[in-house]
Structure 1
Amino acid sequence: MGFLNQLKDKLAPAKDKVSGLAQQHGDKIDQGLHKAADVVDRRTKGKYSDKIQAGAGKAKDALDRLAGTDGGKGGGGGATPPGDAPPPSPPTPPSAS
């Protein structure tokens, strides 16, 4: 058995415990992520708002994957897959003025 396999075997109980904690306290962790993102966004005066929100979304996805919930969407990188996009709305007719 190789070194990495031994390491994985020894870390498996810790991963299970962390996964359980993520399931129990996922809502609190999510609130903390959003609160931290808001503080950083305010401190940078919105200059990096898109990057901060993207990072917070990826952290939430990672938390969901760790907890084993459906919110993680498998192995996504924070972007919405093309098949999950809502259909475009029909164009509105011009008003008769």
Structure 2
Amino acid sequence: MGILDRFRHHGQDKAKNMSDTAEQKANEKTGGKYESQIDDAQQKAEGALGMDRERPDRPGQP
């Protein structure tokens, strides 16, 4: 793995962590009332940025 690949991988990990934190904060602020809508929005945003990932808490969904 070259140095540019390492930077790209590190950047994606950091972006995923930030996305998860934003989702968590939004769920805290809304008391979990809109959890599925927030999760769907997060998935769409990550997909648009090429950050698709498998979600173990939601089988069968990327």
> Shared fold by TM > 0.5?
yes
Amino acid at match of 1:46: G
Residue identity in the other structure for 1:40: A
Unaligned ranges ≥5, structure 2: 54-59
CA distance in 1, matches of 2:41, 2:22: 11
Using the aligned pairs only, state the percent identity: 26
> Which 4+ stretches in 1 moved above 3 angstroms?
none
Match runs of 1:59-78 below 5 Å? 59-64=45-50, 71=52
Structure 1 length-normalised TM: 0.42
Q: Deviations over 1:18-75 (max 9, x none)?
A: xx8xx7111100110011000010110011100000011111111217xxxxx48xxx
Segments of structure 1 that go 5 or more residues without pairing to the other structure are 1-19, 66-70, 73-84, 86-97
Q: How far apart, CA to CA, are the structure 1 residues paired with 2:49 and 2:15? A: 8
Give the superposed CA RMSD.
2.3
Instruction: Look up the SS of the partner of 1:64 in the other structure.
Output: coil
Equivalent residue for 2:22? 36
- Give the number of equivalent residue pairs: 47
Aligned partners of 1:41 and 1:47 also within 8 Å: yes
